[in-house]
Amino acid sequence: MEEFSATDQTVAFSEYTEAQVKNEVFDLISFLCPTTSRNLNVRSKRLSSNKWLINFSYQIQKLDEFGFPMQYSHSEILLIKNGELEVDPILKLDLPCD
């Protein structure tokens, strides 16, 4: 029988995959701005075992001076604390929602 210590469990819980981070951020932004889900693009990159760089972008209803839809883009570093992805920096953003 194998024994696990508390540190083993913490490491196991903090092992987020790129797809898990992207899905969690996608779901959160889609919840905060429901109209963005159809053209929301989320990218993520692991910086360290508990740090992720995420970038998301989507079109907004405003038009630029040439008549093209404007694109909102934002990058953020998210940390993993206690086995959970900390999304507070995204919640604090003033996202342009339609």
End-to-end CA distance of the chain: 55
Structure tokens at 63: 């038009």
Q: The pTM is what?
A: 0.78
* Residue 7 pLDDT > 60: no
Average pLDDT, the chain: 85
**What is the reported pLDDT for 14?**
54
Structure tokens at 76: 């953020």
